[in-house]
Amino acid sequence: MISATAELMKREGVQSITLRAIAKEAGAPLAAVHYCFNDKDELMDAAAEHWLRHMSRFSTDVPVDSGLRKALEHVAEGYWGLLEEAPEDILAQVELVTWATRNSAGSPLAARIYPAYEAELGRVFSTAAEKSAEQSRLDFKELARAFITIFDGAALQYMADPDSGGHRDRYFMMIDALLAKAGV
């Protein structure tokens, strides 16, 4: 069901997600979807967990022994690579965050998405700094949040006008500025 949800989100957007649409996409009876999920909010929570695990793959093989700069650059390369390979994946994630924010009264999802990314990336960045005995002028949660801010902005610009060029260079220029701000 989660794979069907992710595929439908990538192809048609978050607005297309209904339990009935997921049943059709998965080739499953609607009753099976209702058995797994009480409502759309639960389904969207599961989809968010899917993407969190998916994005976490860029932090599992980070060369933390090479220092904070290399670790952050490695994660940045992974994120950008996914954006170029599968922009529909990133667009679906952006739509999911937007949907969760718009529906935050009924879903606690919005309040969980970014803190989960921050925790994962903060752990990677702090481990890399510790292993290389480096210091950062920014705490690792703030470093992670700033990294995500840079990626989100660069990703939106890239997806809005992929043919204009220079997106990757501007993204890494901002990553370098973040590392300079952190004193790395």
Kindly report the number of other CB atoms within 10 A of residue 18's CB atom: 14
Q: Sign of dihedral through CA atoms 12, 115, 156, 102?
A: positive
- pLDDT at residue 167, as a whole number: 96
Residue 155, both tokens:
């990703």
Domain 40-182 fold: Tetracycline Repressor; domain 2 (1.10.357)
Q: Which of 56, 50, 57, 54 is nearest to 3 (CA)?
A: 50
| Angle ∠(154,158,160) on CA atoms, nearest 5 | 120
Task: Using CA atoms of 30, 31, 32, 38 in order, give the dihedral in degrees to the nearest 10.
Answer: 100
Instruction: Report DSSP state, residue 133.
Output: T
Element (H, E) at 180: helix 167-182
pTM: 0.83
Under a CB-based contact definition with an 8 Å cutoff, are residues 81 and 55 in contact? no
Residue type, 86: A
Question: What is the full per-residue pLDDT of the chain (184 aa) written as tens digits?
Answer: 788 888 888 888 888 888 888 899 889 998 988 888 888 878 888 887 777 777 666 667 788 889 999 999 999 999 999 899 989 888 988 888 888 888 766 667 767 778 888 888 999 999 999 999 999 999 999 999 999 999 999 999 999 999 888 999 999 999 999 999 999 8
| Alpha carbon separation from 41 to 2, 48, 105, 106 (Å, rounded) | 13, 10, 11, 8
- pLDDT at residue 181, as a whole number: 97
Residue type, 37: F
The single residue listed with the structure tokens 């801010």 is 149
